[in-house]
């Protein structure tokens, strides 16, 4: 599986925080060295295991979505 890298260039705002520690943040994020884009999502205290799990989920989800989309149009 390809490695997905990200860098939070700037935290714009923390919009909310749940009792379990999840924070809804607006950040400027660079994914895989590309130009930074605004990113609104919930984060929990960042550590490498959680980031790897999120990246793996996104990779699997996007691969599944692409395969479904291609099967519809092919």
According to the model, what pLDDT value does residue 72 have? 65
Q: How many domains does the chain have?
A: 1
DSSP state of 34: -
Q: 45: which residues sit within 8 A by CB, 6+ positions away?
A: 21
DSSP structure string for 2-33: ----EEEEEEEEEEEE-TTS-EEEEEEEEETT
Q: Which residue has the tokens 């799990």?
A: 53
**8-45 tens-digit pLDDT:** 899 999 999 888 878 899 999 999 999 999 999 888 76
| 36 vs 63: which has the higher pLDDT | 36
According to the model, what pLDDT value does residue 16 have? 92
According to the model, what pLDDT value does residue 73 have? 59
Does any domain span residue 42? yes
According to the model, what pLDDT value does residue 35 have? 94
Does any domain span residue 1? no
Cα angle 61, 7, 56 (rounded to 5 degrees) comes to 20
According to the model, what pLDDT value does residue 37 have? 92
Domain that includes residue 25, residue range: 6-73
The enclosing domain of 29 has a CATH number of 2.30.31.70
Q: pTM of whole model > 0.85?
A: no
């Amino acid at each position: 599986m390809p490695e997905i890298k990200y860098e939070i260039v700037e935290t714009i705002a923390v919009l909310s925080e749940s009792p379990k520690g999840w924070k809804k943040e607006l950040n400027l994020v660079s994914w895989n060295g590309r130009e930074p884009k605004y990113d609104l999502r919930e984060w929990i205290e960042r550590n490498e295991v959680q980031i790897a799990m999120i990246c793996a989920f996104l990779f699997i989800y996007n691969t599944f979505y692409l395969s479904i989309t291609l099967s519809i149009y092919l």
